[in-house]
Structure 1
Amino acid sequence: MALQISATNPEHPALLLDLPWHLPLEEWPEDQLVPLPRGISRHVVRYARAGSEVVAVKELAERPAVREFELLRDLDRLGIPTVDALAVVTGRTDADGDYLEPVLITRHLRGSMPYRSLFETTMRPATMHRLMDALAVLLVRLHLAGFAWGDCSLSNTLFRRDAGAYAAYLVDAETGELHPRLSDGQRDYDLDLARVNISGELLDLEASGALHPSVDPIEFGTEICARYHSLWGELTRTSVYPAGKHHYIERRIRRLNELGFDVAEMQITHSNNGDSVTFVPKVVDAGHHPRQLLRLTGLDAEENQARRLLTDLESWMATQDDYAPGDPLAARPEVLAHRWVRDVFRPTVRAIPLELRGSMDPAELYHELLEHRWYLSERAQHDIGLDTAVKEYVENVLPKVRASLPDSAVAEAVQDGGTTATGQGA
């Protein structure tokens, strides 16, 4: 049987031909391999260089190799975080003509680490919570796409940290199944497997002394179930927001924030009945929001202020006709952010008279205006709009704050909740 390389890209077979397919993976020479950390696998896995690419090569039987190859491609088309499937190589024989197992080839996910490499130094419990949150996000996204994993575990996941954000990527789809929709029983089965597998893997780390002494493996395994259910409920609860009720969208975002998640992507679909909103969650590290806001807009703010301004920016972008995440022809986030600063942020801040601003910088002031609008919209049960919020803030809040405090304390008082001066907690 002749060597056959089935690839997603016509260029890949030529790059892959130079690899020593006549040898079992365990015998590949060191000069062909790339020394990257590998996770635990039931199969032999090696990292190799193919032209300018670093690829992961996994030996397994032909049928599961082809099946996993197709599943990974399907998940990629659905926008699920997975490794990229590049090719399946079949018809392998050694120098004597004896049969060798086929291999599945995936692209190495740059910047990712298997969980055991992350625990080479004792990981802080707070960081572990974020990693578990990232895994919960991945499992929810898989289930929303109709994918039953069948073997959710830390070993079958790669973790990546990028600009303060944590993301989990599926690396092993061998046991998975793709359906139009998952039943509650299928989701519960996946979740129970995740709980058992994660607790067992953390118990192994505990036995090796690589686990922080305050971490209970059983509690962490159970925690992912709670995080999953909270996130699943918030994301799958169907709501259609009538015109003038957009502050309800903000309420949903706040609930996601309270659960510990941020919004990576938001899409608003308009219909005659109202607007429906879809969220894609993400897990972020401390300091992410100020860095992201500064990169997109040039505005410098504290953590909570930056989070609030980014939420407003994301909500505004989702209403723009040229906002289409993933579309290379759509406006880039940096372009939309510049437009938001020019058309929304600056005019709003300039609407506040200089004599009433005190020493507040523009980011602080805009944050407080957003909080004030949120309070007034909740009280009125409809979105009052930013212009009305600014007018009410100027007429009823800032003058009373300035009258009750010396000028040097005005900015601090407003930042700490200046609306409380009128008995209106933000």
Structure 2
Amino acid sequence: MALHISATNPEHPALLLELPWQLPLAEWPDEYLVPLPRGISRHVVRYARAGDEVIAVKELAERPALREYELLRDLDRLGIPAVDALAVVTGRADTDGEPLEPVLITRHLGGSMPYRSMFETTMRPATMHRLMDALAVLLVRLHLAGFAWGDCSLSNTLFRRDAGAYAAYLVDAETGELHPRLSDGQRGYDLDLARVNISGELLDLEASGALHPSVDPIDFGTEICARYQGLWQELTRTSVYPAGKYHYIERRIRRLNDLGFDVAEMQIDHSSNGDTVTFVPKVVDAGHHQRQLLRLTGLDTEENQARRLLNDLESWMATQDDYTPGDPLAARPEVLAHRWVREVFRPTVRAVPPELRGGMDPAEIYHQLLEHRWYLSERAQHDIGLDTAVKDYVDNILPRARETLEPPAPE
């Protein structure tokens, strides 16, 4: 059987042909590999370089490889945070003509870390709570899209810093199923699996001495259920308000936006006696602030980063002489937003030397600088300005924190 590459991009097959497909993945020479931290997997997984991209290569049987490839593409179309599927390679054989397992190829998620790498130094309980928040949001987003994961765990998730919090990404869809809508039983099964898997993973960390002594693995496994249920209730519940209190509906929409979700459609029903109004958010999808920032500036960031950058952008716009909301002659927000990127965002990020950035992307750097500016301003009891904050951050904060930041991906 001849080597066959099914790819999402017509440029990828030519780049992938340069890799040593005649060797089992476990025997690939170091010259092809990229030394990035890997999580636990039931399959052999390696990071390699294909042209300018870093890819994750996973060996598995042909049928599940093709199925996971299609599921990951479906999740991408639905806007769900998951790794990007690039290709499936079948028809592999060694130099003696013996068949080798096919591989699934995904794009490496820059700046991400598997959970075990994050526990190489003892993680504080507060940080673990943020990981549980991120995983709960991911599971809710999957369920709203009709995706039953079938194996929710820390091992099957990658985490990226997101403005002091974390964003979670699905990295293994092998057991997943996509439906028009999930039943309560399907959601409950996924949630119960998550509880058992997470408790087991934390017990394993506890046995190895990598878990903070105050953390109870069973309690943290249960925590994901509570956080999920609270978020699901807020997103899907039906609200009944007194007639005429339409600002209550606006308040509910704003609360959903603050959680990072957008109301794409809503149903409002009046009672027969006119005393009450029933409000149901019909469709909620994620990334409200991400989409707004991307539309205004072209910056593609995580949700919490986008929220913080938008706040800074709005504050900056309010200081511009040619910005008057509602004035048809004033500069449009899109024009001002691109000026902010050009005159504020980019110069500020460039002021941080590349060798001190660790694994932080530009949006995270800018967020950290805003946080540092707020801290210094609070201490000084007046706004110290962004330039002063950048200088102090580069001189006094980054050199001390450098060893705790993940190493940058190879150039």
Shorter-chain TM-score bucket reads 0.5 to 0.7
Report the counterpart of residue 140 of structure 2 in structure 1: 140
Tell whether 2:264 aligns with 1:264: no
Q: Which residue of 1 aligns with 2:246?
A: 245
- Cα distance per residue 1:55-106 (max 9 Å; x no partner): 0000000000000000000011011100000000000001111100000000
**CA shift for structure 1 position 269:** 3.8
Distance 2:336 2:73 in 1: 27
Structure 1 residues 13, 182: CA separation in 2 closer, same or farther (over 3 Å shift)?
Answer: same
Q: What are the Cα deviations for residues 226-250 of structure 1, in whole angstroms up to 9, with x where unaligned?
A: 1111111111124599887144332
The one-letter code sitting in structure 1 at the alignment partner of 2:179 is H
Q: Secondary structure of the equivalent of 1:298?
A: helix
The amino acid across from 2:286 in the alignment is V
**In the alignment, is the contact (CA less than 8 A) between 1:157 and 1:170 conserved in 2?**
yes
Tell me: CA distance 1:91–1:331, structure 2 relative to 1, closer, same or farther (3 Å): farther
2:345 aligns with: none
Distance in 2, matches of 1:252 and 1:209, equals: 44
CA contact (8 A) 2:163 2:305 kept: no
* Alignment partner, residue 87 of structure 1: 87
**Superposition pairs of residues 61-100 of structure 1, within 5 angstroms:** 61-100=61-100
Matches within 5 A, 1:96-245: 96-238=96-238, 245=246
Assess, with a 3 A threshold, how the Cα gap between structure 1 residues 88 and 287 changes in structure 2: closer, same or farther. closer
Secondary structure of 1:210's match? coil
- Where structure 2 has 5 or more consecutive residues not aligned to the other structure, the ranges are 271-278, 290-301, 319-324, 326-332, 342-411
Secondary structure at the aligned position of 1:214 is classed as: coil
1:239-288 C-alpha deviation (Å, 9 max, x unpaired): 5998871443324544x69xxxx433424547896986536379999999
**C-alpha separation in 2, matches of 1:76 and 1:285:** 17
1:293 to 311, 315, 330: 311
Please give the alpha-carbon distance, in whole angstroms, between the structure 2 residues aligned to 1:337 and 1:209: 47
Query: Contact 2:261 / 2:287 at 8 angstroms: preserved in 1?
Result: yes
CA contact (8 A) 1:114 1:155 kept: yes
Query: Any idea what SS the aligned residue of 2:259 has?
Result: strand
SS in structure 2 of the partner of residue 120 of structure 1 = coil
The CA deviation string for residues 390-424 of structure 1, in whole angstroms up to 9 with x for no partner, is xxxxxxxxxxxxxxxxxxxxxxxxxxxxxxxxxxx
Q: Deviations over 1:157-216 (max 9, x none)?
A: 000113334211000000111111111111111110000000000001111111111111
Contact 2:84–2:106 (8 Å) recurs in 1: yes
Shift of 1:298: 2.1
- Whether 1:280 and 2:286 are equivalent positions in the alignment is yes
Q: CA deviation at 1:13?
A: 0.5
Contact 1:165 1:288 in 2 (8 A): no
Partner Cα distance (2:32, 2:93) in 1: 19
Amino acid at match of 1:183: S
Taking the aligned partners of 2:183 and 2:8, their CA distance within structure 1 comes to 32
Which whole-Å deviations, capped at 9, do the CAs of 1:126-167 have from their partners, x for residues lacking one?
A: 111011010000111111111111100000000011333421
* Structure 1 residues 270 and 253: alpha-carbon distance in aligned structure 2, compared to 1, 3 A threshold: closer
Tell me whether 1:16 sits opposite 2:12 in the alignment.
no
**1:106 partner SS:** strand
Percent identity over paired residues:
73
In structure 1, what residue type is equivalent to 2:38? R
> Helix, strand or coil: the match of 2:126?
helix
Computed over aligned residues only, the root mean square deviation of the Cα atoms, in angstroms, reads 3.3
* Paired position in structure 1 for 2:45: 45
What amino acid is the match of 2:103? V
- 1:304 is aligned to none
Cα 1:271–1:232 shift into 2, 3 Å: closer
The code of the aligned residue for 1:280 comes to: A
Q: Judging changes above 3 Å, is the alpha-carbon distance between structure 1 residues 112 and 333 closer, same or farther for their aligned structure 2 residues?
A: farther
Within a 5 Å distance, the mapping from 1:309-328 to structure 2 comes to none
Supply the distance in 2 between the matched residues of 1:110 and 1:290 (Cα, whole angstroms): 21
Q: CA separation of 1:286/1:137 partners in 2, compared to 1, >3 Å: closer, same or farther?
A: closer
State how far apart, in whole Å, the 1-side matches of 2:25 and 2:212 are.
35
Task: List per-residue Cα deviations over 1:357-382 (Å, max 9, x = no partner).
Answer: xxxxxxxxxxxxxxxxxxxxxxxxxx
Counterpart of 1:48 in 2: which secondary structure? strand
Range moving further from structure 2, 188-197 or 285-294: 285-294
Aligned partner of 1:263: which letter?
L
Q: Is the 8 A contact 1:296 1:333 kept in 2?
A: no
The amino acid of 1:249's aligned partner reads E
Q: Residues 270 and 336 (structure 1 numbering): CA distance in 2 closer, same or farther, change over 3 Å?
A: farther
- Give the whole-Å Cα distance in 1 for the aligned partners of 2:52 and 2:244: 52
Q: Aligned residue pairs: how many?
A: 305
Q: Residue by residue, what CA displacement relative to the aligned partner does 1:331-350 show, whole Å, maximum 9, x if unpaired?
A: 69947999xxxxxxxxxxxx
CA distance in 2, matches of 1:250, 1:78: 27
Aligned-partner Cα distance in 1 for 2:212–2:303 = 19
Which residue matches 2:376?
none
Rounded to whole Å, the distance in 1 between the matches of 2:77 and 2:141 is: 13
